[in-house]
């Protein structure tokens, strides 16, 4: 079947429906949804029962880049700065030095094992050097596994921020493969430019986006998420146009926005959560359609060797050496090393050699696809088992709700308290967004003149308002009281 304007909507919607139903079933059995989405794409492809012929790496790359924008931005919005700040240095070390060491060690192994040139080997190592946050945490949620101390924020920060480093390394070594006469030192200026401009661009666009969101007055609440989508793509494309790393920019921009007071923030977060899931499904289905299983089979042997080396040697080298100067229990280091799932991102990056037309591009793509599948299948299905074995998981009775869970789902287990605003309270006649409300608390409802109001960031508080506030622990209510009564 060839995709046409007439049937693409029908085919796409059917694939989405099947993916959602199968994905729901996967949580029950702990099977990574990534594998199921890829499998559905493959079955729908030209060599599967669907017979859909899709062989367009350029279109797949475009879909991949757009999808990664949403996935990274959503991950950034959900990042709690207070939780991440204590482990910021460890996370940055893992997402930069750890990625580099993983790429170099795996590239060296590929160079010794195959007939690849050193630059082709390093290119392959770079493509699979980053981890997949979506795969990791969908499995953790399906197993209801909580992790001790700051282990989860560390994994979140690494998974969300290491794709930009892998992207830069992929472009750098692809350039060296194409231009064999260039020195490896020639990629250093490009690397510095990408990372510095990406970081600065993310912060600048984050500040500008906050100003625009809170100052612009839109007539409909539903337009605010649309506004944020526009700002996200402007951040990515403008940073990329200036020579910076667009992926790094949108992640930093999203982390900044996610920890600020924004008008209609809850609406924005909920919509991005849904969009991130949609983009994950679309991305995995697209990559599944792009793969021809008969072309992968010849590389299964070499792919398995490379995958095993990545899991048991290259990834541990990257983790242990990048964390060598930090105080951390050995079992935590081992678990971070094990949570090194390769997902859709490496497959997207593998389309760059295909479009560049290098000699071994097809071989690289099929090996990368096999590595991603085996990594998720082998590591993804054992995350909870290894966590219990290493004793880094919390007992069932010790699990706590995260601030994100409280803010987004208004869990009934949250602490609740009512506050009545007197006429001399600081918060009277001010918008909620202006108060600097505690991040782990939310005004769920306002009782005013006998009726109830569902508030948002632009709601102006009045004297005698009765505020119903939710928080994830009792101590936060003291901060809420200070915020409402005393100028910050």
Q: Domain segments of the chain: what residues?
A: 8-398, 403-485
Q: How far is the C-alpha of 366 from the C-alpha of 123, rounded, in Å?
A: 14
Give dist(CA 315, CA 130) in Å, integer. Answer: 10
Token code pair at residue 82: 């207070």
First CA to last CA distance, the chain: 63
Residue 393 CA to residue 387 CA, distance in Å, equals 5
Phi and psi torsions of 148, nearest 5° = -75, 160
For 256, other C-beta atoms within 10 Å of its C-beta total 21
Question: Span 8-398: which CATH code?
Answer: 1.20.1530.20
| Residues in the chain with pLDDT values less than 50 | 396-413
Contacts of 300 (CB under 8 A, 6+ apart): 370
Which of 445, 487, 485 lies closest to 469, judged by CA?
A: 445
CA of 453: how far to CAs of 171, 265, 413, in Å? 52, 17, 22
Which residues are CB-neighbours of 249 under 8 A, at least 6 positions away?
A: 198, 199, 201, 202, 205, 235, 236, 239
What pLDDT score was predicted for residue 145?
Answer: 58
Q: Judge contact between 177 and 123, C-beta under 8 A.
A: yes
Do residues 235 and 249 make contact, with C-beta atoms less than 8 angstroms apart? yes
> Contact at 8 Å (CB) between 419 and 483?
no
Backbone angles phi, psi at 471, to 5 degrees: -145, 160
Tally the residues of the chain. Answer: 488
pLDDT of residue 45: 84
Helix (H) or strand (E) holding 438: none
Q: What does the block give as tokens for 207?
A: 């500040």
pLDDT recorded at residue 444: 85
Report the 3 state secondary structure along 362-401. Answer: HHHHHHHHHHHHHHHHHHHCCHHHHHHHHCCECCHHHCCC
What SS3 class is residue 1? coil
pLDDT of residue 317: 96
- Torsion sign, CA atoms 259, 439, 336, 278: negative
What is the reported pLDDT for 478?
A: 84
Q: Residue 304: what pLDDT?
A: 95
In the sheet that holds 451-453, the strands lie side by side as: 415-420, 466-471, 441-448, 451-453
pLDDT at 405: 44
Structure tokens at 147: 């992790």
> According to the model, what pLDDT value does residue 122 have?
97
Q: Which pLDDT value is given to residue 406?
A: 43
The reported pTM is 0.79
CATH number of 403-485: 3.30.70.1450
- Taking only Cα atoms into account, the Rg of the chain, rounded to an integer number of angstroms, comes to 24
Between the alpha carbon of residue 304 and those of residues 129, 334, 367, the distances in Å are: 16, 22, 9
Q: Is 147 helix (H, G, I), strand (E, B) or coil?
A: strand
Of the candidates 60, 46, 37, 42, which has an alpha carbon nearest to the alpha carbon of residue 352?
60
Q: Is 441 helix (H, G, I), strand (E, B) or coil?
A: strand
CB count within 10 Å of CB 294 equals: 8
């Amino acid at each position: 079947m060839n995709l046409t304007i007439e049937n693409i909507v029908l085919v796409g919607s059917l694939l989405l429906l099947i993916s959602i139903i199968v994905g729901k079933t996967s949580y029950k059995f702990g099977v990574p949804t990534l594998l199921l989405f890829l499998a559905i794409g493959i079955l729908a492809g030209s060599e599967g029962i669907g017979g859909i012929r899709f062989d367009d790496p350029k279109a797949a790359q475009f879909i991949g880049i757009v999808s990664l924008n949403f996935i990274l931005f959503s991950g950034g919005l959900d990042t709690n700065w207070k939780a991440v700040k204590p482990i910021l240095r460890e996370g940055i070390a893992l997402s930069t030095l750890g990625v580099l060491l993983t790429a170099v060690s795996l590239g060296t192994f590929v160079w010794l094992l195959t007939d690849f040139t050193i630059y082709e080997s390093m290119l392959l190592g770079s493509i699979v050097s980053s981890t997949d946050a979506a795969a990791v945490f969908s499995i953790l949620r399906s197993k209801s596994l909580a992790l001790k101390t700051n282990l989860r924020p560390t994994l979140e920060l690494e998974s969300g921020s290491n794709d930009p480093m892998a992207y830069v390394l992929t472009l750098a070594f692809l350039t060296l493969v194409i231009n064999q006469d260039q020195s490896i030192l020639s990629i250093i200026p490009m690397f510095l430019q990408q990372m510095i401009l990406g970081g600065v661009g993310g912060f600048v666009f984050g500040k500008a986006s906050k100003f625009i969101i809170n100052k612009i007055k839109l007539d409909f609440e539903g337009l605010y998420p649309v506004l944020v989508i526009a700002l996200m793509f402007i951040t990515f494309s403008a940073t990329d146009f200036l020579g910076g790393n667009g992926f790094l920019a949108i992640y930093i921009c999203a982390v900044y926005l996610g920890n600020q007071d924004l008008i209609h923030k809850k609406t924005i977060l909920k919509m991005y959560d849904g969009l991130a899931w949609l983009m994950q499904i679309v991305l995995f289905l697209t990559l599944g359609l792009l793969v021809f299983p008969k072309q992968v089979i010849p590389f299964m042997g070499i792919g398995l060797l490379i995958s095993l080396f990545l899991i048991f040697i290259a990834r541990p080298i990257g983790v242990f050496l990048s964390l060598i100067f930090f105080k951390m229990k050995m079992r935590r280091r081992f678990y971070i090393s094990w949570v090194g799932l390769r997902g859709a991102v490496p497959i997207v990056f593998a389309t760059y050699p295909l479009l560049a037309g290098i000699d071994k591009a097809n071989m690289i793509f099929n090996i990368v696809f096999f590595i991603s599948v085996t990594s998720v299948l082998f590591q993804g299905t054992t995350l909870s088992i290894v966590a219990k074995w290493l004793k880094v998981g919390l007992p069932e009775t010790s699990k706590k709700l995260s601030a994100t869970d409280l803010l987004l789902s208004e869990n009934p287990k949250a602490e609740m308290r009512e506050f009545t605003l007197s006429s001399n309270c600081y918060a009277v006649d001010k918008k909620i967004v202006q108060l600097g409300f505690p991040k782990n608390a939310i005004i769920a409802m306002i009782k005013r003149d006998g009726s109830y109001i569902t508030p948002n960031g632009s709601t102006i508080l009045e004297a005698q308002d009765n505020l119903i506030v939710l928080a994830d622990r009792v101590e936060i209510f003291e901060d809420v009281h200070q915020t409402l009564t005393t100028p910050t």
